[in-house]
Amino acid sequence: MPSNPIIWITGASSGIGEATAYRFAGEQASLILTARRAERLAEVQQECIRLGARCEVLPCDLSNLSGLDTLTDQAVALFGRIDIAFLNAGISQRSTVLESTPEVTRRIMALNFFSPTMIARRLLPSMIAQGGGTIAVTTSIAGRFGFPLRSAYASSKFALYGFFETLQAEYYADKIRVVMVCPGRVKTAISLNALDANGSTHDRMDEGQQNGITADKAARKIAGAIKKQKPEVLVGGPELLMVYIKRFLPSLSRKLARRINAT
């Protein structure tokens, strides 16, 4: 990774994205920040500048897939290249399979899966031409095992592993590196913004989320993993044990998943 990298972070107006932006800003990176809320994004930009970074913003609703090629081209043009793309934007879910409408599933898949994969595909030619780059993408432990009330969310996160592990295999020789960022419970607004069965905002803080690690603690680990180009980084607390139980004791993991309090 270059000593003063150019880093594009999506979902940068709050939570993990915001905290990671501050972490890199303190290291004098050049930042491009994207999120839907322009006013909040401008506040994050000012703090990044105060911390010593060059920082530009590109407000955008990333679920509007038709504009992503243009957005990506604009991001590259701001500083002439992108060394690291941290594709972090996403939305969660709080409803059972039978309750969830197809429209809710489409909304979740658009933001969580199609958005980062389309951006990555558009970025690849310029990254290859410049001699390489790093693509970090936020998945979830719900992308490693099925999780109650998260059918579309878990599906989108499972799908990210398939796409980006394939991308890594295909373009490794071109010095493209992928970092799968796999959070468990981090104290952010993700449960507040999650979609209920009819697409309305959940607007409640889950107990598990409330008791999760701070976004700043998560950002420290994530930034370190990105700089080291680690293939995967698990971020959270005791709940991360489920990843290893699934790997080594799959029958037990299925029993435990059925007992998870997912609210």
Active site residues: 153
Rg (CA), the chain: 18
CA distances from 18 to 146, 208, 253 (A): 28, 21, 33
As separate numbers, helices (DSSP H) first and strands (DSSP E) second, the chain gives 10, 9
Return the residue matching tokens 């990176």: 29
Which neighbouring-strand residues pair with 29? none
Secondary structure of residue 4 in the 3-state scheme: coil
Whether 65 and 115 have beta carbons less than 8 Å apart is answered as yes
CA 125 to chain CA centroid, Å, is 22
Secondary structure of residue 198 in the 3-state scheme: coil
